[in-house]
Structure 1
Amino acid sequence: MSLESEEMSVVDHLTELRKRIIYVLIVFVAGLVVGLFCAKPIYNYLIHADLAEGFVLHAFSFWDGIGMYMKISMAVSLVATVPFIVYQLWAFISPGLRQAERSAALRYVPYVFILFLLGMAFAYYIVFPMALSFTISITRSMGLEETYGIAQYFSFMFSLVLPLALLFELPLLVMFLTKLRILNPLRLRKIRRYAYFVLVFIAVVITPPDFISDFLVTIPLLVLYEFSVLLSAFVFRKQLAADMAREAAYVRKEDS
């Protein structure tokens, strides 16, 4: 292959990547618009839920209301955009994959959406209430007068919910990389201690600066990692069985 053709190939790849990024941006912006229309009912649900009862939310800035609407619309947009990003990534790399790998990767796309929603539900209904109750109890035990801003309330919520929802994609990512034979359960068990360190570091970085939030996020991440190892072992065993079947068929063919 000539240097010119290689350069054209690189240019073609960059053009294709730019096109995929533009598609993602269009879907993200469209999701923001839809999210703005959905923001009011979602906001009404969030502030009237049991989590928000017991204290009054205040606005300390003219932009607090707008900022809250934008946070909600961004969350709505991410729900639609994350699986679309995965699909565009698949479309970009699929020409370099074998047919079996393309089919396997495409089957994972719907589960990206499901796991993202499960992560959001887990974070909102389990992790967030526990973290909120802990911080409020500490505040009240110190005899402090509670004055909560709406911007702080939603920032605290989304700093827990959105990162944890994204991290719920870990099992799916591990299954996909195992399917491509990049990872396997033996390798995952070998790097367990390093993976734990990275997950704890991520939990500390993405959560508010208090121990209980770090703990409530770290434990699910470690459980997700171990669950990912089990899924990787399941995929790996199927791969070994398929390899043995192909080898046996080849030997029978050679003997006949």
Structure 2
Amino acid sequence: MAKQQKEMSFLGHLEELRWHLVRSAGAVFIFAVVFFIFAEEVYNHFLLAHLKPDFITYQIFCEFFNLFGMDSDFCVVNFNEKKLQSIKVTSQLMNSIWSSFILGIVVAFPYLLWELWRFIAPGLTEKEVSKSRGFIFIASLLFFIGVLFSFYVIAPISINFLYNYQITDAIENSFTLESHISLVTNMLLGVSVLFELPVLIYFLTKIGLITPEFLKKYRKHSLVVVLVLAAVITPPDVASQIVVAIPILILYEISIKVSQRVIKNQEKNANKR
């Protein structure tokens, strides 16, 4: 009888997980449909916004360098007004569907976290539930800071560099729609996920897999890993890699503080017992 109850409990958890996944997929699908319907506006004002010479980041960087009396390529951004190439018959349709799906995940991220929290919450004590209520807000805040940082800093720097990089005048740059959208969406998701580092460290410390001492000991090793990740996310120019690496290193230091706070709270609770 006990075994049957355990099996029923296990099956009940699977059923509950299934509905959490269904609702999460439904939320992503709804947002994706909205983005697909307004695809023209999404592409003109978001996904292709970095191809406009008057994009706000280019103006800010230009004024910043001029402030120090330095010339900058951001003051003369020029993509030669060339249109992206759509080579395959289905390219624009499939690209629109895929980009809508990616943006659906981005916008639905807080709801996805909420569904995850609802699945985990029944297994927590009342004290743990009250302490974890800020999880969704903090994780979502970090994620969207990553989105903004990627869109307004990493993407324009990367696109300006790659579009103007040319080995010789004998080679003409003619980029495809897929390559441009893939670059933007990959950076968008990649950088945003990296900004979740403090949240990840919090849970790893909570279950005893990570300690502040471990993070401090391997700080130099983490620098190498961060530079490798920056090289993967950004184009192969030093400036973009440094721009990505700096906030990640800051997040790493914040993660050490988070880990120390978790250990301190655990020791305090242990002493009370």
Q: Taking structure 1 as the reference length, what is the TM-score of the superposition? A: 0.79
Report the alpha carbon displacement of residue 216 of structure 1 after superposing the two structures with TM. Answer: 5.1
Find the partner of 1:89 among 116, 120, 145: 116
Partners of 1:14 and 1:194 in 2: CA distance = 39
Answer yes or no: is the 8 Å Cα contact 1:116–1:169 preserved in 2: yes
Could you tell me which of 82, 85, 88 is aligned with 1:56?
82
- Whether the aligned pair in 1 keeps the contact of 2:43 and 2:49 (CA below 8 Å) is no
Q: Which amino acid aligns with 2:105?
A: L
Amino acid of the structure 2 residue aligned with 1:116? F
Give the corresponding residue for 2:9. Answer: 9
Distance in 2 of aligned mates of 1:13 and 1:149: 46
Counting matched residue pairs gives 244
Q: Does 2:43 align with 1:43? A: yes
In the TM superposition, residue 164 of structure 1 has moved relative to its aligned partner by 1.0
Distance in 1, Cα, partners of 2:182 & 2:52: 14
Identity %: 27
Q: 2 CA distance for matches of 1:85 and 1:125?
A: 25
- 170, 175, 182: which one aligns with 2:197: 170
Deviations 1:17-67 (A, max 9, x none): 111111111111112112213332121113663544424222222222223
Contact 2:50–2:159 (CA under 8 A) maintained in structure 1: no
| Offset, 1:243 | 4.1
- 1:147-169: CA deviations, max 9, x gaps? 12222111111121111112212
Q: Secondary structure at the match of 2:132?
A: helix
Q: Measured at CA, do residues 103 and 194 of structure 1 come closer, stay the same or move farther in structure 2, by a change above 3 Å? A: farther
CA distance in 2, matches of 1:92, 1:43: 35
How far apart are the structure 2 equivalents of 1:17 and 1:72? 27
Counterpart position of 2:157: 130
Bigger proportion of residues as helix: 1
Alignment match of 2:251 (pick from 202, 221, 224) = 224
Q: Residue 142 in 1 paired to residue 168 in 2?
A: yes
Question: Aligned AA for 2:32?
Answer: L
CA displacement at 1:234 relative to structure 2: 4.3
Distance change in 2, residues 1:192/1:50 (3 Å): closer
Following superposition, the deviation at residue 222 of structure 1 comes to 3.2
Q: Which amino acid aligns with 2:202?
A: M
2:135 maps to what in 1? 108
Local SS of the residue matching 2:36? helix
**Any gaps of 5 or more consecutive residues in structure 2?**
54-78
Q: Closer, same or farther in 2 for the Cα pair 1:204/1:131, shift >3 Å?
A: same
Q: What RMSD over aligned residues (CA atoms) do the two structures have, in Å?
A: 3.1
1:24 alignment counterpart: 24
Equivalents in 2 of 1:142, 1:93: separation in Å? 57
What's the offset of the Cα at 1:95? 1.8
Q: Is the 8 A contact 1:101 1:179 kept in 2?
A: no
Unaligned runs of 5+ in 1: 251-256
- C-alpha contact (below 8 Å) 1:67/1:151 kept by paired residues: no
Asked if the contact 1:31/1:80 (under 8 Å) is kept, the reply is: yes
Indicate yes or no: 2:147 matched with 1:120: yes
